[in-house]
Structure 1
Amino acid sequence: MQAESFISIKPSSKKLRQYIAYYYFHSATDPLLKKHFLYYPNHKNAVTVYKNSKIIYQPGYSASVPCTHTPISILYSGIQSQYRIAEIQAPFDKIGIVFQSLGINHFIKGNLNDVFPRTDDKSFGHFGESFKEACLVAYNEPLLDKRVNILDDFFQVNYQAFREENLVKCINYIEGASHKPTVQQLSEQFHTHRRTLLRLFKTHIGCSVKTYIDIVQFRKAVNNYLDPIKDTKKLTELAHQYHFYDQSEFIRHLNKLTGSNPRHFFNSLTTLGSENTFWTIK
């Protein structure tokens, strides 16, 4: 049996792929295995489910330890403006549901701001008992494609319309733009007052407009750097391509988000699965 496995798979449903980027299945059986890793700000964020693990929370940190008395633990840390530290002790069995930007908003009743965990404890119960039951069924299914179908079924049944169309257009514009938009440009482009934009982002995403733009630019730069098809770029080239004023600004930006200088950060990354999941594993 493989000691550790990390597999990422897109939803089978084409409709769900608009809202859920991918699922991942991460497990390990060796009780001597303990991992310490850093994960970084992302405009795609995950609900994470642990089987038979207890989760311990502290500011900027979480740890999971085996616990047979805890059948299911669910956490959601939302969009983060800085890196977080996690430790995980095997044996463990995780399911991650990685949502597109605004994806989770299509499966909750009310605003994200109303259900998002605001304390250090990131426990997340908004999907209810039916989600826990679906996860337990998925854990008991050995075939991954059938696990995906079980999760797809839950989210298809619990789909909710999200009616802030202007916000959806704004998010799509930021993520698709070849330049780095400013808040003022977005305000003019979508005929929406800056204060209204800020309220929409805070209510439905959980951060300011500027923070969201910075995180998207960060992810674009990292995905470009890690793309095996493209030649590895120098920091000056990345800074220019993603519209930072100069290399010094780019270094300050990455240091703020990752807690380390760019060269150390890029050299420390480990890619997991096939969907641009990357952590720093220590």
Structure 2
Amino acid sequence: MDIRTYFPRHPLLRQYISYYYFLVVDDPDFNVTYYSFPNTTTPLNIHKNIETKIEPYATSIAESKEQNNVMLVQGMRKQPLLANLKGRLDKITIHFKPLGLNQFISKPFADIAPLDSQLFTDWCHAPGYNHFIADFYGTCDLERRVGILEAFLLSIYKPMIIDPLLINAVNALADTSNEQNIQQIAQELGISTKTLSRFFTKHLGITAIGFKNIARFRHSLQVNQQGKTLTDIGYESNFCDQAYFINVYKQIAGASPGAFFKSISKFADDQLVFKLLDQGTV
């Protein structure tokens, strides 16, 4: 798959967005099936002229003769998502940092993305949305598209007042270099573990421990690039023992760590990790 990666230009957007990637396919026979894996980022996809079928942990996208624009957003999922892409496609995916999308929506995150994958309509009635889509898909220049997208995002930016305690908790749980359990973090913030759990469920759509395991999982992918043993990878990613390391991987990745690392492919400057099942005309 020819995936092109771009990083936010505007300093405000860099606070909330990790990166964008484009997938533009002009081959009607294109057909690829793959698994994508849980991440601490929130992917939001904007597609041109597609039909889609969404099932639990399985989403298919196919070229459509209907002239439309479809947006999909993925919640903070705990299991791999099976994806199938067919035909000519033209999409951008925005990877929002934790709490990032919250700054650009009109409802709580838990209301916007309660499922692993769903249609996203929150922007459809925003002032300038139709003009944005027309301009965005009116050019094939990806650099220009990034500029058009960022102008739209800045126009709908509504900074959400989030309790600083939640932000501190998110940062603490994502920091694998300073291992702390949920109870320690809640105690340091002066709140109960129940309050901490409510924060995460409302604003991130996942429990605190679920988020922490995903952060450990994503860190282990980075450590694996350094050619270390499975024992070292588990230890450096703060999995308390090998049995727990394996159990979390079987849930999040659907395989043991050793089998998983042998099966994955990386795209978008190693930002994306997929397990390709049917490469078709990739």
Corresponding residue SS for 2:119? coil
Structure 1 partner of 2:159: 161
- Hey, what's the Cα distance between the residues in 2 that align with 1:132 and 1:56? 24
Structure 2 partner of 1:144: 142
Deviation at 1:78, TM superposition (A): 1.3
Structure 2 partner of 1:79: 76
Structure 1 partner of 2:222: 223
Structure 1 partner of 2:66: 69
Write out per-residue CA displacement over residues 87-142 of structure 1, whole angstroms, 9 at most, x where no aligned residue: 00021111101101110001112311222254x76111011244454234212222
Deviation at 1:143, TM superposition (A): 1.9
Structure 2 partner of 1:212: 211
Q: Relative to structure 1, is the Cα distance of residues 244 and 117 closer, same or farther in structure 2, using a 3 angstrom cutoff?
A: closer
- Hey, what's the Cα distance between the residues in 2 that align with 1:281 and 1:275? 15
Deviation at 1:181, TM superposition (A): 2.3
The alignment status of 1:181 with 2:180, answered yes or no, reads yes
- Determine which of 234, 238, 242 is the counterpart of 2:233: 238
Corresponding residue SS for 2:43? strand
The alignment status of 1:127 with 2:123, answered yes or no, reads yes
2:39 touches 2:218 (CA, 8 Å); kept in 1?
A: yes
- Determine which of 248, 252, 258 is the counterpart of 1:257: 252
Q: Which moved more, 1:128-137 or 1:182-191?
A: 128-137
Deviation at 1:274, TM superposition (A): 2.1
**Length-normalised TM-score, structure 2:** 0.92
Q: Relative to structure 1, is the Cα distance of residues 121 and 97 closer, same or farther in structure 2, using a 3 angstrom cutoff?
A: closer
The alignment status of 1:58 with 2:18, answered yes or no, reads no
Q: Counterpart of 1:184 in structure 2: which amino acid?
A: Q
Corresponding residue SS for 1:56? strand
- Hey, what's the Cα distance between the residues in 2 that align with 1:174 and 1:13? 27
Structure 1 partner of 2:280: none
Q: Percent identity?
A: 26
The alignment status of 1:267 with 2:262, answered yes or no, reads yes
- Determine which of 17, 29, 34 is the counterpart of 1:32: 29
**Length-normalised TM-score, structure 1:** 0.92
CA RMSD of aligned residues (A): 1.6
Runs of 4+ in 1 over 3 A off after TM superposition: 129-133
Q: Which moved more, 1:124-133 or 1:63-72?
A: 124-133
Corresponding residue SS for 1:15? helix
The alignment status of 1:102 with 2:99, answered yes or no, reads yes
- Hey, what's the Cα distance between the residues in 1 that align with 2:47 and 2:130? 10
Q: Which structure 2 residue ranges, 5 or more long, are not aligned?
A: 278-282
Q: Relative to structure 1, is the Cα distance of residues 132 and 213 closer, same or farther in structure 2, using a 3 angstrom cutoff?
A: farther
Equivalent pairs counted in the alignment come to 274
Q: Relative to structure 1, is the Cα distance of residues 198 and 92 closer, same or farther in structure 2, using a 3 angstrom cutoff?
A: same
- Hey, what's the Cα distance between the residues in 2 that align with 1:259 and 1:89? 24
- Hey, what's the Cα distance between the residues in 2 that align with 1:198 and 1:133? 40
2:75 touches 2:117 (CA, 8 Å); kept in 1?
A: no
2:176 touches 2:237 (CA, 8 Å); kept in 1?
A: no
Deviation at 1:179, TM superposition (A): 3.4
The alignment status of 1:171 with 2:170, answered yes or no, reads yes
Structure 2 partner of 1:112: 109
- Hey, what's the Cα distance between the residues in 1 that align with 2:249 and 2:123? 34
Q: Which structure 1 residue ranges, 5 or more long, are not aligned?
A: none
- Hey, what's the Cα distance between the residues in 2 that align with 1:8 and 1:246? 36
